[in-house]
A and B are shown apart, each in its own frame.
Chain A
Amino acid sequence: DIQMTQSPSSLSASVGDRVTITCRASQSINNYLNWYQQKSGKAPKLLMYGASSLQSGVPSRFSGSGSGTDFTLTINSLQPEDSASYYCQQSYSIPIAFGQGTKVEI
């Protein structure tokens, strides 16, 4: 089974900052990597798919990169509404695996 490890588990940043979240797969997953945003008390929302493709309607300050085992989610010019937990998810093989999450506080 593929394990997904995110870092950091939490971070605190200010409005306007650039934030980077890392996700590492235990084996190569090519670019089969998705990112979700989950605000407090709400369901997860798809942000990025295929490691670097922005889901429709998601602000362009979000970007993703990586391939193989190492991936990053970057938020440029952090906004108050970006306060949430972020999860990576591999879609390379069954069982589907999520990272443990990164909580972003502003």
Chain B
Amino acid sequence: QITLTESGPTLVNPTQTLTLTCTFSGFSLSTSGVGVGWIRQPPGKALEWLALIYWDDDNRYSPSLKNRLTITKDTSKNQVVLTMTNVDPVDTATYYCAHTQGRVRGVPNWFDPWGQGTLVTVSS
């Protein structure tokens, strides 16, 4: 059974750096084809894809946020970390990580399953 759990601060001051950790079980990020993605959802709004990382360290980022995001993996700890610099109140959202298996032209097939999400509020 695959499970993912997001963790990180619930409140962040504007201009600070946000660090989120996705801890997973039931799969390994050293297995061919496996990846983990991050997706966020502002309150009452739609889903927005942020970044993903594959077993072979191939990273992909949303172009609109690429300059502010870094995604890394620690295979030994079964963790994926997303950092977002210079946060703003518009970054207030529930942040999800999700498992993916397989890719075509660098694009993941789909995301399944997802973690339960963690709500991050950006405010002074």
A contact residues vs B (CB 8 Å cutoff):
1, 32, 34, 36, 42-46, 49, 55, 87, 89, 91-101
B contact residues vs A (CB 8 Å cutoff):
37, 39, 46-49, 52, 60, 62-64, 96, 104-117
How far apart are B108's CB and chain A's nearest CB, in angstroms?
A: 6
**B46 and A43 contacting across the interface, CB-CB below 8 Å:** no
Given contacts A43-B96, A89-B111, list 10 more A-B pairs with CB under 8 A. Answer: A36-B47, A42-B116, A45-B114, A49-B110, A87-B46, A92-B107, A96-B37, A96-B52, A98-B48, A100-B46
Q: How far is the CA of A36 from the CA of B47 in the complex (A)?
A: 11
**B109 and A101 contacting across the interface, CB-CB below 8 Å:** no
A residues within 8 A CB of B109? 49, 91
B39, B107, B111: the one within 8 Å of A46 (CB): B111
**B114 and A44 contacting across the interface, CB-CB below 8 Å:** yes
